[in-house]
A and B are shown apart, each in its own frame.
Chain A
């Protein structure tokens, strides 16, 4: 086999390529597995810090609602990385979405817990950092 003008034996080249491919695939599998473990760990922590009502809501709908410590407004925290905090009116209709979270690549459960703690204890401070989106229509409400 000629490669860039150099004669290379085909067998060792193919073996090296196979080993490299295998290493890349194994690395990816390990990364996915570590990420999944981190997500599970973060969800366990989140569930431990939710109230029974919040936990029941989360188990049923994959989101939970908290009350802002300063305004008394209700917020729905959904499992997503962006614009996942909905501000609700008294009828539970979404009036705005807020985007904020802890720095770094944390698992979703950690992000949601940090958002809950921040809204309940330092709502003004959290929203002062956040980006706000407005909505004319609310997504369907489940329960």
Chain B
């Protein structure tokens, strides 16, 4: 199972999906687009402590985290 983790006031909301299920994959792809269009940054975990920003849905990603647009404090 792959996971999309969206940061929010509750900590995060997690969406699990089976990457081999075409319908679930389409839903995950749509969610990715919806979030990034709304200004969220997406990053995938590449290894221990290593992440990479992604601008397009990554089929191979086990875990993608989304955080809201950054701003100066």
Contacts and interface: CB of A to CB of B under 8 A. Distances in A.
A26 interface: no
B34 interface: no
Interface residues of A, number: 42
Nearest to B9: A105
Contacts of A81: 73
Chain A interface, DSSP helix/strand/loop, else mixed: helix
A129 B72 contact: yes
A73 B8 CA distance: 29
A63 B39 CA distance: 28
A68 interface: no
Contacts of B9: 38, 104-107
B73 A38 contact: no
Interface stretch (A9-17, A87-95, A119-127): A119-127
B72 A99 contact: yes
Chain B interface, DSSP helix/strand/loop, else mixed: strand
Given A102-B67, A107-B11, A110-B7, A49 B45 contact: yes
Contacts, number: 103
B73 A130 contact: yes
A40 interface: yes
Contacts of B73: 81-83, 99-101, 130-131
A41 B11 contact: yes
A34 interface: yes
Contacts of B41: 114, 117-118
B24 to A, nearest CB: 22
B28 interface: no
Interface of B: 5, 7-12, 39, 41, 43, 45, 48-53, 65, 67-73
Interface of A: 34, 37-42, 44-45, 49-54, 81-83, 99-107, 109-110, 113-114, 116-118, 120-122, 125-126, 129-131
